[in-house]
Amino acid sequence: MRERGYELEDVVVLIDTRDLVVQSRDVAGYYGQTPIHGTAKPRKLATLVASRLVGMQVRRVSAGVQEIFDDEGDALAWLFDA
């Protein structure tokens, strides 16, 4: 992104986790220690989940999650809302 003139703080990110399943506590704990976007702080970060249960787990273990959606259209609308 930076090579093309964009700062990571200026982008919006959609993470699609709909094909992932609820993980064990050990796996969830590992992901909870790993920031989704490292040192970059995107302007907006939406996570798309397959179920409310997965959304609850994502919110609990993930650093940097801003909004969670189960509908792709809603997620995109939120990301690109001025």
Dump pLDDT digits (tens) for 28-52: 666 656 555 455 677 888 989 998 8
Domain extent for 29: 2-80
Q: Does the pLDDT value for residue 77 go beyond 90?
A: yes
* pTM for the full predicted model: 0.69
Summarize the confidence of residues 55-65 as an average pLDDT. Answer: 74
Torsion angle of C-alpha atoms 64, 29, 49, 40, degrees rounded to 10: 20
Whether the Cβ atoms of residue 10 and residue 41 lie closer than 8 Å to each other:
no
Number of domains in the chain: 1
